[in-house]
Amino acid sequence: MKVAITYNLKKKDTTKPADYFSECDSLDTINNITNALKSKGHCVEAIDVEYPRLFSYFSKHRVDMVFNIAEGKVGKFRESEVPAVLDYLKIPYTGSDTFSLALALNKALTKKILKAEGIPTPNFQLFVKGNEKLNPELKFPLIVKPNCEGSAKGINKNNVVHNKEELFLRVKEIIGQYSQEALVEEFIEGKELTVGILENGKTRVLPILEIDFANCQKSGEYFYSWRMKEFQGNKEMGLEPSFFCPARLDKEIEKKVIDVALRTHRALGCLDISRTDIRLDKFNVPYVLEINPLPGLDPKESNFPIMAYAAGMKYEDLIEAIILSASERTKLN
């Protein structure tokens, strides 16, 4: 197949905030995906979508499939921009469509859908201006997050707040820094899990990944903060989580976790691949935090490949499975 990889490249630019490029992909990841596709016999070109001539590029260069990992740069619909261009030009692409990508990027809207579906998700409130009255039903500790970001952007230790004063301070900071609403939700103390779903002929749930932050006393960051993701494995900084795949779960709880992840994937209309982040509370209720239809695919650093390896897949098999799922779907359309 003639395949084009669409991506946003991670760059070094000291004039931008430290987390500006966190959602983008490194050249190393793009090279690994390119090599994986080539090893399966595909003819591959990689396109940095930052160049605004995407439309004219694809009008002239026809490809059989786009392997889309572009997260976009700015705005609430950034992840949908490349799929929208491809939809218009009728070029098939891997992964979720324009609509699901925009929906999943909006955490509060996603949570409304989850609640309507009866899928547990932490109780929450959206702050648009930052001077709204706090819903008295919400129980501290709460966590404050930008409503439409990924890669834990804007999520640090001081986002977990214990009183109204801390809460409103952080809410205003988030609204100001990220020019968007702040999502406030109940902080779920408990096991952190992430669930990978791969549609490969049939919908397949990969072995669940558990991320254990018990070794992170030095940083005091017991959750997947931005620093944890950015400097993962740095012992000096106390940012060395342990990974267990499959997760250490009783069969019954594992079944519940798989069930909520599958229902979340379907409720949001995700295609080919997704990764759902979950926390178990003290009663082992699996609370869905969010779903990522464009999970990181770095062969060494990202969570999704770890789960694929635990299922016995090689990196190139994972990449090929995504392409196959997308091309099967396209044939059916």
Ligand X SMILES: Nc1ncnc2c1ncn2[C@@H]1O[C@H](COP(=O)(O)OP(=O)(O)OP(=O)(O)O)[C@@H](O)[C@H]1O
Q: How far is the CB of 209 from Mg ion (least distance, A)?
A: 12
Structure tokens at 92: 């098939």
Q: Please report how close the Cβ of residue 160 comes to ligand X at its closest, in angstroms.
A: 8
β-strand pairing of 209-212 with 192-200: antiparallel
Q: Please state the closest distance from residue 295 (CB atom) to Mg ion, in A.
A: 9
Contact flag: residue 277 with ligand X (CB under 6 A): yes
| Residue in 16, 269, 263 with CA at minimum distance from that of residue 120 | 263
Which residue from 55, 7, 64, 61 is spatially nearest to 326, judged by alpha carbons?
Answer: 64
Using the rule CB under 6 A, is 122 a contact of ligand X? Answer: yes
Which of positions 204-223 make contact with ligand X (CB under 6 A)? Answer: 223
Q: Could you tell which of Mg ion, ligand X, none binds residue 145, using a CB distance below 5 to 8 A set by kind?
A: ligand X
Contact status: 304 vs ligand X (CB under 6 A): no
Contact 7, 30 (CB under 8 A): yes
Structure-block tokens of residue 108: 């509060």
With H, G, I as helix, E, B as strand and everything else as coil, classify residue 47. strand
Nearest residue to the partner Mg ion, using Cβ: 277
Residue given tokens 């959750």 in the structure block: 223
- Asked if 260 interacts with ligand X (CB under 6 A), we say no
Pairing of strands 286-292, 273-280: antiparallel
Question: Is the Cβ of residue 58 or residue 224 nearer to ligand X in the bound state?
Answer: 224
In angstroms, rounded to a whole number, what is the distance separating the alpha carbons of residues 67 and 195? 21
Ramachandran angles phi, psi of 9, nearest 5°:
-85, 135
Question: Nearest distance from residue 96's CB to ligand X, in Å?
Answer: 14
| Residue from the set 175, 292, 307, 319 that interacts with ligand X by CB under 6 A | 292
Residues between 276 and 295 with contacts to Mg ion, criterion CB under 5 A: 277
Positions in the binding site for ligand X (CB under 6 A):
122, 143, 145, 149-153, 155, 185, 187-188, 192, 223-224, 229, 277, 279, 289-290, 292
Positions in the binding site for Mg ion (CB under 5 A):
277
